[in-house]
A and B are shown apart, each in its own frame.
Chain A
Amino acid sequence: MKHQIPMLILSAVGTLLVVSVFVPSAQHWGEDATLYFDIIAVFAFFLGGGNLIRVHTEKVSHKSAGWIYSVVTLLGFGIMLVTGLFKIGNPNGIAGDLSKSGSYFQLLFQYVMSPLNSTMYALLAFYVASASYRAFRAKNTEATILLVAAFVILLGRTALGVLLTNWIPAQLSVLQIPNLAIWIMNAPNLAGQRAIMIGISLGVISMSLRLLLGIERTYLGGDS
């Protein structure tokens, strides 16, 4: 029963969503199903938040290794929750837009969360460099082609590409590095991406059918 009811819901909603694509008057069924998922997902936030508080409170109370970071986590969670929920400092009060300038939530967002997030994202620049250094080796013909393409793209995405090849006459402008970079992205890269996307779409169809037919149940804690 524990698995049969979720399976039934899945099959019914899945079929409904497929039907809603083809039947115009059933389109709102699909929209409604999406909305219901969102409503359920919002309530599930409590589960996640509760788990976060429990795990970190336990760490603090047992003074486990790194417990001080758990204090920071709990404080961050609490402060953002309170300032956002009660719209503290919001110029238009509790009914106003949460992101109005002046509200504490907006200040925390702008001056704490934004820089922290950007910092994490900026790590990509370093990791791209180290991964490129390791991966782009001319080990064989295919790897050499990849290496050359990488060079063209790297140069083509900067003004350096223009500086290096703007002497090439307009008739041969396709050989200018920025145009070559666009060609690589548009022709070979696009062809490869499309092939992968076709494979993925067929994989999704096959997986979705397994789910709708109840053949695949591992994610429900059942046997496949």
Chain B
Amino acid sequence: MIALLRVAKFVVSLCSLLFIVSFLPGQSVYSQDTASSVNNLPPITVKAYDTENDAGSSITVEWSDPGYWRREGFNGYRLSRKNVASGIEDSLDVLPTGHVLHEDRSVSDDSSYTYTLAVLINGANLTSTSTEVVRSSKQWFDNRLTWVLILGLIICGAVIYFIESAKRGTKLFLRRIAGLEAIDEAVGRATEMGRPILFIAGIQDMDDVQTIAGLTILGSIARTVAEYDTKINMPVCTSLVMTAARETIKHAYVTAGRPDAYNDDMVRYVTNEQFGFVAAVDGIMVRERPAACFLLGAFFAESLIMAETGNSIGAIQVAGTAMPAQLPFFVAACDYTLIGEELFAASAYLSGEPRQLGSLKGADVGKAIAMIVILVGVIATTIASAWNSESMLWIENLLRQMFSTG
């Protein structure tokens, strides 16, 4: 009996010891039978397909790992490729844990390939079976952008329709934009005071549509300036804007019948450096004390520095930008602010030309679409989440699909 007890005690002690040892680092039971555990796992599955919506020369290889990556000694996956025609095999890459997909961009559209994936565990390679033969090709249309194209065509179609209908003489209503109405008043004030006006077209180059919008307004202002015989001063921070602004002002002076009054020095290049430019503009404001300042274009952190300096010299200020972060600064420091789209509408508004006005009406169609979609989306999402309505969920998913490019 005592011997039996001793044997039982020994067995229990041995089991306890084994249990404790199994938790010691590097001594896990798990690691001891790695090979057998790995062998017990189902084989890794790999598939290869032509990368979608690309310009060709790309094959995507995707695999699902049933758990090899958890094994001790796992060193990654080695991906190999075989050219079917030539039989040449290439080892592509060793990919660490976490990768389940690789885009091979070193293939030719003229060749076919197969891929194999090896799991590297303690130097041993466990190779998957080859994928089916795959060939890359280019796509002529990015399917992810179908809805973008459709919506774009509707909006552009609406713009063109309204331009055409305006050309045929349809009367279009345009709400009053106070900032643009104030331009004549500002230039008139400068004339009365015998002081110049200052125009800043933002700090971006000609590849920014806000700069172009600023220059189109400059055309109207320069014409009024030429008619009133006031001085205009325009420091710029890029050379291309300098050239374009000179052409714009020159044409305005010619149109106003005063080509002799035009001078190239009305537009001066200062520097491309953002705050160097601000320092120069602030200096000009303080020294020359313009009666009116126009800040129309793309502005960044310098917006408030310029606008506050203009405010401190008592100039009447009209600002406009499509940089949402800068709008509050302009609203706080300027007399009139063109908010976002108003900047782009300004040239049409000022010219009063039917074709241009028509383009604004077309953009309104876009706004109507946006409003309807937001409204429907909010209602559908709310109902879908509150009452689990499948039809509403379908609408929600459709809208998500329409407005995502993923």
- Asked if A and B form a direct contact in the complex, defined as CB atoms under 8 angstroms apart, the reply is yes
A residues apposed to B, CB below 8 Å: 21-28, 37, 40-41, 44-49, 51-52, 55, 66, 113, 116-117, 120-121, 123-124, 127-128, 130-132, 134-135, 193, 196-200, 202-211, 213, 215-216, 218-224
A126: nearest residue on chain B (CB-CB)? B308
Query: Which of B160, B255, B268, B331 contacts A55 (CB under 8 A)?
Result: B268
Residues 29-67 of B contacting A (Cβ, < 8 Å): 53-56
25 contacts between A and B (CB under 8 A): A22-B141, A41-B205, A47-B239, A48-B242, A117-B273, A117-B275, A120-B276, A124-B304, A130-B308, A196-B324, A197-B324, A199-B341, A203-B341, A204-B322, A204-B344, A205-B159, A207-B213, A215-B356, A216-B347, A218-B248, A219-B212, A219-B247, A219-B248, A223-B251, A223-B255
Q: What's the A-B contact tally at a CB cutoff of 8 Å?
A: 209
Query: Which of B152, B240, B308, B342 contacts A44 (CB under 8 A)?
Result: B240
Cβ–Cβ contact A216 & B239, under 8 A: no
B243 on interface, CB distance cutoff 8 Å:
yes
B 125-151 binary contact with A (CB < 8 Å = 1; else 0): 000000000000011111001001100
B332 on interface, CB distance cutoff 8 Å:
yes
B residues apposed to A, CB below 8 Å: 53-56, 138-142, 145, 148-149, 152, 155-156, 159-160, 163, 205-207, 209, 212-213, 215-216, 218-220, 238-240, 242-244, 247-248, 250-251, 255, 265, 268-276, 278-279, 287, 301, 304-305, 307-308, 322, 324, 327, 329, 331-333, 339-345, 347-348, 351, 353, 355-356, 359-360, 362-363, 366-367, 370
Query: Which of B145, B219, B345 contacts A218 (CB under 8 A)?
Result: B219
Cβ–Cβ contact B332 & A206, under 8 A: no
For B215, what are the chain A residues with a Cβ–Cβ distance below 8 Å? 218-219
Cβ–Cβ contact B209 & A208, under 8 A: yes
For A44, what are the chain B residues with a Cβ–Cβ distance below 8 Å? 238-240, 243
Cβ–Cβ contact A206 & B363, under 8 A: yes
Cβ–Cβ contact B356 & A216, under 8 A: yes
Query: Which of B207, B332, B348 contacts A132 (CB under 8 A)?
Result: B332
Q: What CA separation (Å) do A25 and B57 show in the bound complex?
A: 10
B345: nearest residue on chain A (CB-CB)? A203
Q: What CA separation (Å) do A51 and B238 show in the bound complex?
A: 11
For B329, what are the chain A residues with a Cβ–Cβ distance below 8 Å? 131
Q: What CA separation (Å) do A130 and B206 show in the bound complex?
A: 33
A2: nearest residue on chain B (CB-CB)? B247
Query: Which of B216, B341, B343, B351 contacts A202 (CB under 8 A)?
Result: B341
Cβ–Cβ contact B359 & A120, under 8 A: no
Q: What CA separation (Å) do A203 and B348 show in the bound complex?
A: 11
For B243, what are the chain A residues with a Cβ–Cβ distance below 8 Å? 44, 47
Give min CB distance, A14 to chain B, whole Å: 11
Cβ–Cβ contact A51 & B269, under 8 A: yes
Q: What CA separation (Å) do A130 and B332 show in the bound complex?
A: 10
Query: Which of A28, A117, A215 contacts B55 (CB under 8 A)?
Result: A28
Cβ–Cβ contact A216 & B160, under 8 A: no
For B244, what are the chain A residues with a Cβ–Cβ distance below 8 Å? 219-221
Q: Apart from A210-B347, A215-B355, what are 14 other A-B pairs with CB-CB below 8 Å?
A: A21-B145, A23-B142, A44-B240, A48-B238, A52-B270, A117-B276, A127-B305, A135-B331, A196-B339, A213-B160, A216-B356, A219-B219, A219-B247, A224-B356
A40: nearest residue on chain B (CB-CB)? B240
Cβ–Cβ contact B251 & A221, under 8 A: yes
Known: A209-B359, A215-B355, A218-B215. Is A25-B55 also a contact (CB below 8 A)? Answer: yes
Q: What CA separation (Å) do A49 and B237 show in the bound complex?
A: 11
For B250, what are the chain A residues with a Cβ–Cβ distance below 8 Å? 221
For B279, what are the chain A residues with a Cβ–Cβ distance below 8 Å? 116, 120
For A196, what are the chain B residues with a Cβ–Cβ distance below 8 Å? 324, 327, 339-340
